[in-house]
Every structure is written in C-alpha cells, then in structure tokens.
C-alpha cells in the first residue's frame, strides 16, 4: 500500500513530515508532496489548502502522479449536531457536498450525472481510524494535550462519533444555517470544506479513502474564536498520534483488498 495523507492547513499536519524516514520533496501544482515512510508505511504527505477544488486537485494528483493506493484526510471540522462537542473526533461514514444544488434539474445535494448525493469512504480504513481514535483518547490524550489546553477548551471526556460529514466552500459560523443543514441531512455530525470532494475523486478513481476530523468549534458565531490556537495545540496532536497508531496497525495487520463502494 502507499498511503496519501492530506490536511488542509500546515497546523493540522504538524510533525508528520519530521516523523518521516527518508523524506523527499516534490513540488507539483503549487503544493509540496513529501514522500517517505511513516512508521514503516510508504506514505506521501501533502497540504491541500482549503476548499473542495483545492482538495480535489490534491487527491487527484496523489493518485495519478504519486501512485497512492489509499487516501486519508485529517483535519478539523465544525460540530454538525448538538451531541458533538469541541474536542470530539469524527470519522466519516458518508460524505455529502452540502453546497451542491442543481435543482430542479437534479435533486438537492446530488452530484449531477453520478446519481449520488452521499459518497462512502472505505469501511476497513474507517474502522481502523476509529479504533486508533479510541485508543488515542484512552491512552495518549492526557499526555498529548496539556492541562492548560484541556481546561481552556473544556475538553473533559472527548468521544468518537461516526456519521455523515458535510463539505462545502463556506466556513460555517451561523447557528441558523447549521440547524437548517442538520435538518436537511439526517445523521450529520460535522461540517468542513474538503472531505466530500476527496471522497468523490476517490470514488471516481476507484481508490479507498477515509476522513477523520477533530471538532474545533460549534459552527456558530463563535466558530473562528481561538480557531488557530485549537488547531495548533490540540488538533495537531490528535492527528499526529492517531496517524501514528493507524500506521502501526496497518503495518501489523495489512488491509484486505476492498472494492470501492458507491454512495446513495
Ligand atoms: N472546519 C473547522 N470548523 C469549520 C466550520 N465551522 N465550517 C467549515 N469548516 C470548518
């Protein structure tokens, strides 16, 4: 396997390139692709920048130019539901582009001419990710996140959620819009700006992918407050430790070949 690891921002991928053995950098399409091994897994790390086009371009390049066989997206997201709290972890079970609306020609959220509104990530990889997320919270969390940051962000007992992740080219900071989206998308757990674009690319290219997000905010009027502090001091640690756990797990128990499934 060759694992492509994408994050939108440098702060979401802190420490990964430094952890790489034999790293080599190749610049393509205004992005730095770092190839090497991460905990003995052949990997390519890259920052997509923000938004669906940026993410789609990066995922496509990872597959077509770097030959990755699997893609993992790590980063932060806004909570998509009241049951989801800042500091929780979300592993996507399905992904939808919430700003896709070609109605009345096609149903709302359907990506025209695919017949799909929801794209499914790879079940095996997603299961490994949620296992790694649980282990991170049980075993690494207290050492990885300082007490000051735990108190500042009220991270008492973070949980792992699996559910629907909605992506769109908007930073969601409006309670009313979020509630409307939550009502329109049953099972919504998080909102972000890249995951569903990566999932569509991976579906079309037949490459398994998975998306994991640390919840940085409640997607309301306070969403941008302390955002970068959270990404640097909390989310970066989550991503590093979970990626390390996933790589070790993949080395020990390689994934079985799986058919890329569609969505609904
Ligand atoms: N990523 C993190 N928080 C977000 C939000 N509120 N909206 C969109 N993307 C996000």
Q: What's the pLDDT at 260?
A: 64
Residue whose CA is at the smallest distance from ligand 1 atom 9: 192
Q: What DSSP line would sit under 100-111, residue for residue?
A: ---TTTS-TT-B
For the residues 43-72, what does the mean pLDDT come to? 98
| Higher local confidence (pLDDT), 256 or 7 | 7
With the most atoms of ligand 1 within 8 angstroms of its CB, the residue from 7, 48, 73, 76 to mutate is: 76
Beta strands at 188-192 and 209-217: parallel, antiparallel or unpaired: unpaired
Smallest CA-to-CA distance from 126 within 94, 92, 165 is with: 92
> Under a CB-based contact definition with an 8 Å cutoff, are residues 112 and 119 in contact?
no
Q: What's the pLDDT at 135?
A: 98
- The pTM for the full model equals 0.97
Q: How far apart are CA 232 and CA 217, in angstroms?
A: 14
Q: Which atom of ligand 1 is nearest to the CA of 223?
A: 6
Going from the Cα of 257 to the center of ligand 1, the distance in angstroms, rounded, reads 33
Q: What's the pLDDT at 261?
A: 64
Report the sign of the C-alpha dihedral through residues 180, 184, 187, 190, in that order.
negative
Bridge partner residues of 21 (DSSP): 37
Going from the Cα of 23 to the center of ligand 1, the distance in angstroms, rounded, reads 31
Q: Name 201's Cβ contacts closer than 8 Å, sequence gap at least 6.
A: 56, 59, 60, 63, 207
Smallest CA-to-CA distance from 94 within 199, 178, 192, 193 is with: 199
Q: Which atom of ligand 1 is nearest to the CA of 172?
A: 7
Q: What's the pLDDT at 257?
A: 83
Q: Which atom of ligand 1 is nearest to the CA of 192?
A: 9
Smallest CA-to-CA distance from 120 within 260, 250, 13, 217 is with: 260
- Options 11, 12, 81, 249, the catalytic residue: 12
Residue whose CA is at the smallest distance from ligand 1 atom 2: 77
The answer to whether residue 12 is catalytic is yes
For the residues 142-160, what does the mean pLDDT come to? 96
H-helix or E-strand spanning residue 158: none
Report the sign of the C-alpha dihedral through residues 8, 12, 14, 18, in that order.
negative
Q: Which atom of ligand 1 is nearest to the CA of 218?
A: 6
With the most atoms of ligand 1 within 8 angstroms of its CB, the residue from 88, 90, 173, 191 to mutate is: 191
Residue 262 banded pLDDT, cuts 50, 70, 90: low
Q: What's the pLDDT at 264?
A: 73
Q: What's the pLDDT at 258?
A: 75
Protein residues with CB under 6 Å of any ligand 1 atom: 76-78, 171-173, 191-193, 216-217, 219, 223
Going from the Cα of 60 to the center of ligand 1, the distance in angstroms, rounded, reads 23
For the residues 22-39, what does the mean pLDDT come to? 98
Every domain of the chain and the residues it spans: 72-252
Each residue of 209-257: pLDDT tens digit?
999 999 999 999 999 999 999 999 999 999 999 999 999 999 999 998 8
> Under a CB-based contact definition with an 8 Å cutoff, are residues 94 and 120 in contact?
yes
Q: Which two tokens stand for residue 258?
A: 């799986």
Each residue of 169-190: pLDDT tens digit?
999 999 999 999 999 999 999 9
Question: How confident is the prediction for the chain on average, in pLDDT?
Answer: 96
Going from the Cα of 168 to the center of ligand 1, the distance in angstroms, rounded, reads 9
Residue 165 banded pLDDT, cuts 50, 70, 90: very high
Task: Say which CATH class 72-252 falls into.
Answer: alpha beta
- Please check the confidence at residue 200 and state whether its pLDDT lies above 70: yes
- Please check the confidence at residue 108 and state whether its pLDDT lies above 80: yes
Q: How far apart are CA 134 and CA 203, in angstroms?
A: 27
> Under a CB-based contact definition with an 8 Å cutoff, are residues 258 and 124 in contact?
yes
Going from the Cα of 220 to the center of ligand 1, the distance in angstroms, rounded, reads 9
């Amino acid at each position: 396997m060759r694992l492509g690891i994408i994050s939108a921002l440098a702060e979401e991928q802190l420490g990964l390139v430094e952890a790489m053995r034999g790293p080599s950098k190749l610049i393509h399409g205004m992005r730095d692709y770092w190839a090497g091994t991460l905990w003995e897994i052949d990997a390519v790390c890259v920052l997509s920048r923000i938004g669906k086009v940026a993410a789609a371009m990066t995922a496509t390049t990872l597959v077509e130019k770097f030959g990755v066989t699997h893609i993992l997206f790590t980063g932060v997201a806004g909570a998509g539901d009241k049951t989801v709290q800042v500091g929780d972890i979300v592993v996507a079970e399905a992904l939808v582009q919430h700003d896709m609306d070609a109605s009345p020609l096609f149903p709302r959220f359907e990506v025209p001419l695919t017949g799909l509104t929801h794209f499914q990530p790879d079940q095996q990889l997603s299961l490994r990710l949620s296992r790694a997320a649980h282990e991170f919270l049980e075993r690494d969390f207290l050492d990885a996140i300082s007490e000051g940051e735990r108190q500042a962000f009220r991270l008492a007992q973070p949980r792992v959620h699996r559910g629907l992740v909605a992506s769109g080219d908007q930073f969601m900071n409006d309670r009313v819009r979020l509630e409307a989206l939550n009502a329109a998308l049953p099972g919504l757990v998080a909102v972000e700006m890249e995951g569903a674009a990566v999932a569509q690319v991976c579906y079309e290219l037949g490459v398994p992918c998975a998306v994991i997000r640390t919840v940085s905010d409640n997607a309301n009027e306070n969403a941008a407050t302390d955002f970068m502090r959270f990404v640097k001091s909390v989310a970066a640690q989550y991503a590093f430790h979970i990626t390390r756990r996933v790589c070790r797990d993949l080395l020990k128990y390689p994934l079985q070949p799986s058919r890329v499934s569609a969505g609904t």
